[in-house]
Structure 1
Amino acid sequence: MSIDSNPLSAPTPWGFDGPRTSLYTEEYAADPHRAHREMLHRFGSLAPVELAPGVPATLVIGYHAAVRILNDPDRFTSDPRAWEQSIPAGCPIRPMMEWYPNPLHSGGRDHIRYRSATAGALGEVDLHRLHVTIEQIATPLINTFCADGHCDVVGQYALPVAFATLNAILGCPADIGRRAATGMAAIFDTVGAANGNQLLLGALAELIRTKRAKPADDVTSRLVEHPTCLDDEELVCHLALLYAAGIEPTQNLIVNTLLLVLTDDRFAGNVLDGSLSTRDALDEVLFNNPPLANYCIRYPRQPILVDDVWLPAHQPVLISMAACNNDPAVRTGTITDNRSHLAFGTGPHACPARSMSMLIVQDAIDQLLDALPEMALSMPREELRWRPGPFHRSLVSLPVTFPKSAPIQGAGIH
Structure 2
Amino acid sequence: MTYYTPQAVPLYGPDYAADPHAVYDRLRQYGPVAPVEISPGVTAYLVIGYRAALDLLRDTETWSKDSRAWQQTVPPDCPVLPMLGWRPNVLFNDGEVHARYRSVITDGFSLVEPHELRRRTIRAADELIREFAGAGEADLVSQYARPLPLVLFNALFGMPEHDSPRLVAALAGMMEARGPEEATAAGAEFERYVLELVALKQRQRGDDLASWFMEHPAGLEPEEVVHQIVLTMGAGHEPTSNLVSNALSRMLSNPDYYGSLTGGALTALDAVNDVLRHEPPMANYSAHFPRHNVRFHGTWIHANQLVLVSYAAANTAPDGLPPGVDRADGGAHLAWSAGPHSCPVKQPALLIATTAIERLTGHLCDLELTVPRERLSWRPGPFHRALAQLPARFSPISPDQAGVTPWSNASPSSSTPQDRTRSPRPPVSEPTARPSA
TM-score (norm: length of structure 1): 0.91
SS of equivalent residue, structure 1 residue 165: helix
Amino acid at match of 2:113: D
TM-superposed deviation, 1:18? 3.6
1:237 to 227, 233, 240: 227
1:261 to 241, 245, 251: 251
CA contact (8 A) 1:142 1:157 kept: yes
Give the Cα separation in 1 of the matches to 2:72 and 2:186.
Answer: 21
1:88 maps to 2:64: no
Classify 1:266/1:47 alpha carbon distance in 2 versus 1 (closer, same or farther; 3 Å): farther
Match of 2:202 in 1: 212
2:295 to 302, 305, 324: 305
2:46 to 42, 59, 72: 59
Deviation by residue 1:104-138 (Cα, 9 ceiling, x = unmatched): 11001101111111111111111111111122222
Give the Cα separation in 2 of the matches to 1:169 and 1:36.
Answer: 38
Match of 2:116 in 1: 129
Amino acid at match of 2:123: Q
Give the Cα separation in 2 of the matches to 1:56 and 1:188.
Answer: 23
CA contact (8 A) 1:288 1:322 kept: yes
Classify 1:174/1:26 alpha carbon distance in 2 versus 1 (closer, same or farther; 3 Å): farther
Q: Which moved more, 1:365-374 or 1:262-271?
A: 262-271
CA contact (8 A) 1:62 1:323 kept: yes
TM-superposed deviation, 1:275? 1.3
Match of 1:380 in 2: 372
1:349 maps to 2:337: no
Classify 1:27/1:100 alpha carbon distance in 2 versus 1 (closer, same or farther; 3 Å): same
1:314 maps to 2:310: no
Give the Cα separation in 1 of the matches to 2:176 and 2:296.
Answer: 31
Match of 1:3 in 2: none
Structure 1: give runs of 5+ residues left out of the alignment. Answer: 1-7
TM-superposed deviation, 1:201? 3.2
TM-superposed deviation, 1:396? 0.7
Give the Cα separation in 2 of the matches to 1:368 and 1:330.
Answer: 39
Give the Cα separation in 1 of the matches to 2:199 and 2:142.
Answer: 30
TM-superposed deviation, 1:245? 1.4
TM-superposed deviation, 1:36? 0.4
1:367 to 359, 363, 366: 359
Give the Cα separation in 2 of the matches to 1:220 and 1:330.
Answer: 46
Q: Which moved more, 1:18-27 or 1:101-110?
A: 18-27
Give the Cα separation in 2 of the matches to 1:390 and 1:410.
Answer: 41
Structure 2: give runs of 5+ residues left out of the alignment. Answer: 400-404, 411-437
Give the Cα separation in 2 of the matches to 1:335 and 1:106.
Answer: 35
CA contact (8 A) 1:176 1:206 kept: no
1:33 maps to 2:31: no
Amino acid at match of 1:208: V
1:222 maps to 2:212: yes
Amino acid at match of 1:411: N
Give the Cα separation in 2 of the matches to 1:274 and 1:222.
Answer: 38
Classify 1:135/1:321 alpha carbon distance in 2 versus 1 (closer, same or farther; 3 Å): same
1:22 maps to 2:35: no
Deviation by residue 1:285-304 (Cα, 9 ceiling, x = unmatched): 00111111111111111111
Deviation by residue 1:129-183 (Cα, 9 ceiling, x = unmatched): 1111122222232222222111110111112211111212211335655555555
TM-superposed deviation, 1:402? 1.0
Give the Cα separation in 1 of the matches to 2:173 and 2:24.
Answer: 26
Give the Cα separation in 2 of the matches to 1:62 and 1:36.
Answer: 11
Give the Cα separation in 2 of the matches to 1:304 and 1:178.
Answer: 48
Match of 1:337 in 2: 330
Amino acid at match of 1:336: D
Provide the alpha-carbon RMSD of the alignment.
2.1
Amino acid at match of 2:47: V
Amino acid at match of 1:229: G
Match of 2:267 in 1: 277
TM-superposed deviation, 1:329? 1.9
TM-superposed deviation, 1:394? 0.7
Give the Cα separation in 2 of the matches to 1:133 and 1:246.
Answer: 15
TM-superposed deviation, 1:239? 0.6
CA contact (8 A) 2:50 2:318 kept: no
Q: How many residues align?
A: 398
Amino acid at match of 2:270: D
Give the Cα separation in 1 of the matches to 2:352 and 2:320.
Answer: 29
Classify 1:96/1:174 alpha carbon distance in 2 versus 1 (closer, same or farther; 3 Å): farther
> Within 5 Å, which residues of 2 pair with 1:134-213?
134-173=121-160, 178-182=165-169, 184=171, 192=180, 197-213=187-203
Give the Cα separation in 1 of the matches to 2:84 and 2:243.
Answer: 22
CA contact (8 A) 2:290 2:304 kept: yes
Classify 1:120/1:198 alpha carbon distance in 2 versus 1 (closer, same or farther; 3 Å): same
2:102 to 115, 131, 135: 115
Give the Cα separation in 2 of the matches to 1:125 and 1:170.
Answer: 11
Which consecutive aligned stretches of 4+ in structure 1 deviate over 3 angstroms post-superposition? 173-202, 330-335
TM-score (norm: length of structure 2): 0.86
